[in-house]
């Protein structure tokens, strides 16, 4: 046998063994633990060395008495283990580098940084997945905190604005009376009426804020009282009758599809807010219609008016606390009525929507289950 052929015969099995070991190491590192992979590489490398020496000696491809040839075969056989170890080390080194980069980016407030899929040992993949989950949670918490802070600032601004007007009016009138600027009985009586209206506005705002804070409480959830739907609608209409007559607004109701239907006593507050809001924004000589129907799944109630209606942007904002259709905030009210209506409806397991009325104006539709919330 010529020398080149003999060398190829020696290197062939060793090369194949090296390639197989490297391939197995690549697969093993993604499935087994890092410690198990390293142990397997050491065992395989040792076995390959022993098997190569036995086979090559059996086929008389090497001279056992030649230390140089035996050492060369042993050294080359060990390259299988070295190659596998390098593959494992390279994969895990890249994974560790990516983990470090993502951690550094997160430390620099880059909350969108993610590790993603790693081709590394299960331990490092687990660390990467945990880091991604933590980053996502931190991002969500910070976003929630920012929204909460923005909502808090808006709430404080709105409350301050709505408190300032009646308080300023009260202060001006009290100072005028106290300083003797106003002393005739007729003017004092008129001032007293205006002060009473301002006080009622403040009381209504405080009551609405208190009620808003109670919606998520146990008292609200455990309130099992119910009333007839007709009573809730009649009560809401009666509260707005005076203003409606003053402005020639016609209020009609159609409850024929909800005869005998009952609802949560809390829903009466929703009806009050919707009817009051409809009357407030309906022009003189307009109309407001209240309609209710009992369905297989619950109670549906709508309140429609003949006002100017709401734009798509306004319909998205109409349930926000202290939001008003008139940017000048000249209309009376706390600006919490529709917010309360939405919160109460959701707490009862229902839904409320602001829509365009078929004949123009706005329409609010409330759908609530007939059973207790959460059934």
Domain ranges for the chain: 3-107, 159-214, 224-369
Q: Give the SS3 label for residue 130.
A: helix
Query: Is 49 a residue whose pLDDT tops 70?
Result: no
For residue 26 the two structure tokens come to 């690549």
Residue 276 and residue 337: Cα distance in Å, rounded?
Answer: 9
Q: Quick check: pTM over 0.85?
A: no
Instruction: Kindly indicate the confidence band of residue 4, based on its pLDDT and cuts at 50, 70 and 90.
Output: low
Cα angle for residues 132, 138, 143 (degrees, 5° grid) = 125
The bridge status of strand 226-228 relative to strand 262-264 is: antiparallel
137-154 per-position pLDDT tens digit: 988 888 888 877 876 777
Is domain 224-369 given the CATH code 3.30.565.10 in the classification?
A: yes
Cross-strand pairs, 226:
264
**H/E segment holding residue 294:** strand 287-294
Instruction: Kindly indicate the confidence band of residue 374, based on its pLDDT and cuts at 50, 70 and 90.
Output: very low
Closest-CA residue to 127 (of 159, 103, 154, 160): 103
Name the DSSP class of 283.
P
Closest-CA residue to 116 (of 101, 130, 128, 103): 128
Tokens 């940084």 locate to 113
Instruction: With beta carbons less than 8 A apart as the criterion, state whether 74 and 161 touch.
Output: no
For residue 28 the two structure tokens come to 């093993």
**Given this chain, do its domains 159-214 and 224-369 carry the same CATH topology?**
no
Cross-strand pairs, 291:
254, 302
Query: Is 373 a residue whose pLDDT tops 60?
Result: no
Q: Give the SS3 label for residue 359.
A: coil
Topology classification of domain 159-214: Helix Hairpins (1.10.287)
* pLDDT at residue 364, rounded to an integer: 93
């Amino acid at each position: 046998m010529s020398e080149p052929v003999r060398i190829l015969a020696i290197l062939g099995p060793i090369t194949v063994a090296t390639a197989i070991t490297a391939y197995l190491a690549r697969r093993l590192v993604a499935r087994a633990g890092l410690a198990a992979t390293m142990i397997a590489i050491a065992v395989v490398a040792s076995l390959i060395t022993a098997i190569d020496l036995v086979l090559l000696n059996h086929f008389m491809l090497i001279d056992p008495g030649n230390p140089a040839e035996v050492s060369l075969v042993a050294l080359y056989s060990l390259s299988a283990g070295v190659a596998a170890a390098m593959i494992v080390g390279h994969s895990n080194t890249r994974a560790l580098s990516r983990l470090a980069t993502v951690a550094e980016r997160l430390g620099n407030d880059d909350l969108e940084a993610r590790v993603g899929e790693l081709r590394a040992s299960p331990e490092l993949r687990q660390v990467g997945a945990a880091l991604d989950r933590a980053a996502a949670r931190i991002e969500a918490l910070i976003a929630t905190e920012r929204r909460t802070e923005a909502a808090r600032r808006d709430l404080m601004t709105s409350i301050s604005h709505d408190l300032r007007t009646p308080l300023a009016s009260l202060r001006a009138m009290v100072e005028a009376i106290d300083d003797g600027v106003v002393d005739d009985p007729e003017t004092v009586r008129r001032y007293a009426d205006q002060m009473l209206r301002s006080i009622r506005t403040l009381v209504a705002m405080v009551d609405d804020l208190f009620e808003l804070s109670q919606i998520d409480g146990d008292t609200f959830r455990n309130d099992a009282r119910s009333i007839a739907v007709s009573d809730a609608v009649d009560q809401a209409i009666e509260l707005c009758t005076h203003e409606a007559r003053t402005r020639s607004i016609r209020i009609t109701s159609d409850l024929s599809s909800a005869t005998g239907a009952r609802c949560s006593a809390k829903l009466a507050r929703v009806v009050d807010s919707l009817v009051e809001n409809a009357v407030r924004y309906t022009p003189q000589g307009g109309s407001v219609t209240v309609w209710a129907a009992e369905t297989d799944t619950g109670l549906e109630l709508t309140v429609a008016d003949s006002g100017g209606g709401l734009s798509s942007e306004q319909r998205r904002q109409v349930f926000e606390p202290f939001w008003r259709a008139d940017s000048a905030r000249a209309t009376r009210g706390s600006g919490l009525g529709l917010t309360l209506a939405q919160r109460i409806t959701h707490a009862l397991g229902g839904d409320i929507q602001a829509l365009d009325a078929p004949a123009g104006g706005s329409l609010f539709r409330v759908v609530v289950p007939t059973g207790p919330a959460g059934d």
